[in-house]
Amino acid sequence: MVKGTEFLPVSRDEMIHRGWYYYDFLVVTADGYIDHPSFGSAIIARLLESEGYRVAVLAQPDWRDAEAFRAMGKPRYGVLIGGGNLDSMVAHYTVAKRRRTQDLYSPGGKVGFRPDRPTIVYVNRAREAFPDTPIVIGGLESSLRRFAHYDYWDDKVRRPILFDAPADLLVYGMGESATVEIARRLAAKTPVAEITDVRGTACIVTDPAVCRYHEVTCPSFEEVQGDKTAYAKATKVQYEEHDPIRGKAVLQQCQGRWLLVNPPQRPLNRQTLDKLYDLPFTREVHPMYREGIPAIEEVRFSITHNRGCFGGCNFCALAFHQGRMVTSRSIESVLSEAELLTHDPRFKGYIHDVGGPSANFRHTSCRQQKEHGMCRGKSCLAPEPCKNLDADHSEYTELLRRMRQIPGIKKVFVRSGVRYDYMLQDKNRDFFKELVDYHISGQLKVAPEHCVSSVLDYMGKPHFDVFLKFWRQYQKLNESNGREQYLVPYLMSSHPGCTLNDAVDLAVFLKRTGHQPEQVQDFYPTPGTMSTCMYYTGIDPRTMEPVYVARDPHDKALQRALLQWGRPDKRALVIEALEKTERTDLIGYGPECLLRPMKGEKYDVKTPPVPPKKKKDGRPSKPEEAPRRGRRTDGQKGKMSPRKKAAFAKQRAKKK
């Protein structure tokens, strides 16, 4: 724990210990209480504290009884509710919709401490406990469900979350500015029903005329529920207006009322970000959890230096939550946090990560952004980098260099994803070289995701030749220093637009390059992404053109199996996939084949052996041409025991 700091109160006893007999805001979170800047609820709670408010924290309350919400009394101004750092449904279910056996954000990593869709459940309990108290929801779960959205787990279009969670306001995105503005108005006795104009918020209204911004209307809940083309059009509008500079308010009608989503807040500038991360976090799990909370271990000695991502991956929710405009902390602020970590008695000298959504972004992608916003309907990096792209790693390189020099720090790793396409656009190779020399722990993880251009276009990723160019340069840098470091590609199966033939092509590439991934990410349709829209509608919302989608669980299993063709438990699926695509030529003994035939299979057709050349006396011309006992005939090298190896080496030495 950082000296001189203490946790915010989590009980009436802790309030009394502070001399409090009232408090202003109750922050409710679906995660266990970790007072660390990597957790949104902790940031919001500390920020309100810095503004002079008394804040209490209620972590993972019993959702079956409103009494849990009344335990610390009624807050003076409001209840702020978040669904946790990770979407609750992703935290609870695999892509196959199976229940997970662990929850890393709960005590001891155990499940059962929070319900499905906790934002909705908590709001209903809080409304029971405090009927007249303003309730504000925020965080990832609310942000991505602010509009009518396709729900993968229910397999249907659900209403905007405010229509299921009876809160007064929704804060979306990185909500610090909006939350502080709402708190000031509530403290000034402004009725919550009149707070309809804060940027970065959404609310339900009966008359859309209350909107104070230029607005655009997207198809209603009823339309998107019954018409997939309308759903795709709504998604396009929502993404086009999600810009803090040129974006308009978006109105969506739902069952006789209107959802009003105001334009996004502007990203926090560098000075404000520095102040935010300088707040007095204890950086620890609350001591009420005897078993601890596993999620702290990933971030305990990691540092976040940026926000936002202009990478534009269609399957990623970052663009719709944090936004595409990148901001970052000053070098001094990040170094100050690194120096603070060196005083932790558990610190062993290793900074695990200095990153963010994309580790190597420090500023907006181009200078025009700050004045005009992000380009409508365009990506900064894919399929080709924009000509206005400002690819510059000099500040990030300086940050890492100076951090390496701090006494007590042995190694600084970069484990967040790096955008290799952005790296290649930087003519100065200093960062690339130093990344390889100092900031990799034996392997670098990057995300090409696929190798087929059409699939990459649907993903919003650069084409594969960019990855191959990066790979060659990475190998060259390692060879020049005599290092043996590997590149680990992240891959995805079953993304919209990916056919079974495309999956075969990716498997062939992996076989040819010697990669056999142990883990493959099957596409997970989470709310609020472009790719989820494609999955549900079969339409690319950018072009309104049809897209092939593998929805059947068996079809998805076939694609996934191809990328793990070497696993015995996937063999039957791989053979089925190769038969469906008429690629059984990949079952055989050649170096390009994915599978070798097994005895009894219909593909176990052995080529007739070539008779060895013989001498006049009938003996084989060379001893090696004669089959030897124990020698394998399937093209693989036979194994030799250490004892036989030693005897063989001794025999060869005698002959010499």
What is the CATH code of the structural domain delimited by 12-199? 3.40.50.280
Report whether pLDDT(636) > 50.
Answer: no
Token pair 């397999």 in the structure block, residue: 155
Token pair in block for residue 334:
């990040």
- Which residues does 516 contact at the CB level (< 8 Å), separation at least 6? 510, 564, 565, 566
pLDDT: is 651 or 276 the higher one?
276
Task: Say how many C-beta atoms besides its own lie within 10 A of residue 264's C-beta.
Answer: 21
**pLDDT, mean over the chain:** 91
Give CA angle at 361 (488, 36), nearest 5°: 85
Quickly state the pLDDT bin for 441 (edges 50, 70, 90): confident
Q: What is the pLDDT of residue 269?
A: 95
Q: What is the pLDDT of residue 620?
A: 41
Q: What is the mean pLDDT of residues 580-601?
A: 89
* Residue range(s) in the chain whose domain bears CATH number 3.30.750.210: 301-441
Report whether pLDDT(617) > 80.
Answer: no
Q: What is the mean pLDDT of residues 600-619?
A: 53
Q: What is the pLDDT of residue 517?
A: 80
Containing 355, the helix (H) or strand (E) segment is strand 353-355
Q: How far apart are CA 330 and CA 429, in angstroms?
A: 22
- Considering the domain delimited by 301-441, tell me its CATH architecture: 2-Layer Sandwich (3.30)
Q: How far apart are CA 590 and CA 144, in angstroms?
A: 48
**Domain 443-605: which CATH number of 3.30.450.20, 3.30.70.20, 3.30.465.10, 3.30.750.200:** 3.30.750.200
Please write the tens of the pLDDT for every residue from 292-331.
999 999 999 999 999 999 998 999 998 899 999 999 999 9
Cβ distance 147 to 261 under 8 Å?
A: yes
Report whether pLDDT(626) > 70.
Answer: no
Please write the tens of the pLDDT for every residue from 36-60.
999 999 999 999 999 999 999 999 9
Chain centroid to Cα 327, Å, comes to 18
Report whether pLDDT(640) > 60.
Answer: no
Token pair in block for residue 520:
């493959």
Dump strand ranges (E) for 386-538: 411-412, 443-449, 486-493, 521-522
Please write the tens of the pLDDT for every residue from 349-408.
999 999 999 999 999 999 888 889 999 888 999 999 999 999 999 999 999 999 999 999
* Residue range(s) in the chain whose domain bears CATH number 3.40.50.280: 12-199
Task: Say how many C-beta atoms besides its own lie within 10 A of residue 420's C-beta.
Answer: 22
Q: What is the pLDDT of residue 1?
A: 64
Dump strand ranges (E) for 149-274: 149-151, 156-158, 169-171, 201-205, 215-217, 249-254, 257-261
Report whether pLDDT(149) > 80.
Answer: yes
Report whether pLDDT(137) > 90.
Answer: yes
Report whether pLDDT(623) > 60.
Answer: no
Instruction: Output DSSP code: residue 174.
Output: S
Q: What's the Cα-to-Cα distance from 645 to each of 180, 624, 650, 653, 654, rounded to whole Å?
A: 73, 18, 9, 12, 14
The β-bridge partners of 380 are: none
Quickly state the pLDDT bin for 644 (edges 50, 70, 90): low
Closest by CA to 463, choosing from 385, 406, 400, 521, is 385
**What is the full DSSP assignment across 279-312?**
S----EE-TT-TT--THHHHHTTEEE-EE-----
Helix (H, G, I), strand (E, B) or coil at 69: helix
Q: What is the pLDDT of residue 607?
A: 45
Cβ distance 219 to 526 under 8 Å?
A: no
